[in-house]
Amino acid sequence: MNRAVKLKARTKGLPAPEHFELVALPIPKTGAKDALIRNHYFLVSASLRAMVSEGADDVPGVPFPALMPGDALRGEAIGEVVTAPHDSGLSPGDMVTHFMGWRDYAAVPVGQCHRVVKPLPEPAGYAGYLGHGWTAYAAMTRGVQIRPGDTVFVSSAAGAIGSMAGQIARRLGAGRVIGSTSSQEKAQWLVAELGYDAAVIRHSATPLAQQLAEAAPDGIDVYIDNVGGEQLQAAVATARTGARFVILGTLSGQLAEEGTGRTAPVELDTVQILLRHITIRGYSADENPEAKQEWFERLPQWLESGDIVLPRTVIDGLDKATDALCDTARGRHHGMVLVKP
């Protein structure tokens, strides 16, 4: 059997199950330079919303193309090689990562397959090669460099990137790590399970900027921004002189109730940016591909020593994938979200 999740209708706001359909398809035919892959896991990302919204178009610099009704969804996946060209360097049984998730089988150009030599220490296994841990690692070793004793603020700290960023910051020498999240339950999880020193909660009775000022009375040195919006405003207000901000995502726009999810406007106090000598950098981990290899060399050691965990939610069944996407867009999961077809 081969199944795929397709876009049925573009969304006018956050995605809902009726926007998608699960269809049965033939096993895909491979070309001369394709490998046939049976997917084991794929990653569910809230950023998919920006690909399926009404009015979404391809944007220069955005690596994911807009999808039209009838298109199969796409996302990072890991799977087993079924067949491959004899001169490809791939053999049946090899495990590879690629970007054609949301289906049982995929015909993937061999140049887009990245072979995984061995699983990570359990319970991560092969699934540990998915997710955004390396994005957070690259951001904190290349986008900015964590310095010993830094106070680091991470937005969307319970998400796929944020749940890794706080742990990595600590391993790199940060003195205090603060995260933002959407609920008291998640805030407690960040502190108890992931080693955050404090967490601030958006949409709380206490303004976010006030919460952050109380959590970081001496100010913040580094801001890892996955959201934008009021959290970026609060970071500017709390920044110490010479603070370094790295922008990795724009969830405030991607998860807005209306719009395409491809813009995230915010009003910033540029006087404070000037007076505090704040550096703000937009960053993609793809700028430093060598960081991915470095990350996967360090990660097994950190996992085995218990210095780091890989928070994730695993959804069993391709038929539950669209529900997982809708729940992810509404912040109902911890860490990265994976579907096992």
281-320: per-residue pLDDT in tens? Answer: 999 999 999 999 999 999 999 999 999 999 999 999 999 9
Confidence of residue 59 (pLDDT cuts 50, 70, 90): low
| Angle between helix 162-171 and 184-194 (nearest 10) | 30
| Between 113 and 54, the higher pLDDT residue | 113
pTM (2 d.p.): 0.93
Cis omega before residue 123 (within 30°)?
A: yes
Domains of the chain: 2-120+310-340 (3.90.180.10), 133-286 (3.40.50.720)
Q: For residue 236, is pLDDT > 70?
A: yes
Q: CA 198 to CA 176: how far, in whole Å?
A: 9
Q: For residue 148, is pLDDT > 80?
A: yes
Q: For residue 324, is pLDDT > 80?
A: yes
Amino acid at 45: S
Half-sphere exposure of 69 (CA within 13 A, CB side): 8
> 257: buried, middle or exposed (CB in 10 Å: 19+, 13-18, 0-12)?
exposed
CB 107 within 8 A of CB 19: no
User: Given the DSSP bridges, would you call strands 105-109 and 77-83 parallel, antiparallel or unpaired?
Assistant: unpaired
Q: Region 75-98: what's the mean pLDDT?
A: 96
Q: Region 3-28: what's the mean pLDDT?
A: 94
pLDDT tens, residue by residue, 61-77: 666 788 999 999 999 99
Q: For residue 233, is pLDDT > 70?
A: yes
Confidence of residue 149 (pLDDT cuts 50, 70, 90): very high
Query: According to DSSP H, which parts of the chain are helical?
Result: 49-52, 133-138, 162-171, 184-194, 208-215, 229-238, 251-254, 270-275, 290-305, 321-329
**What number of residues does the chain have?**
341
Place of tokens 């591909």: 289
**What does each C-alpha distance from 136 to 207, 318, 335 come to in angstroms?**
27, 28, 13
Arithmetic mean of pLDDT over the chain? 94
Name the percent of the chain lying above pLDDT 90: 84
Q: CA 211 to CA 185: how far, in whole Å?
A: 16
Q: For residue 123, is pLDDT > 90?
A: no
Confidence of residue 58 (pLDDT cuts 50, 70, 90): low
Nearest one of 19, 37, 42 to 27, comparing CA atoms = 37
Q: Region 154-174: what's the mean pLDDT?
A: 97
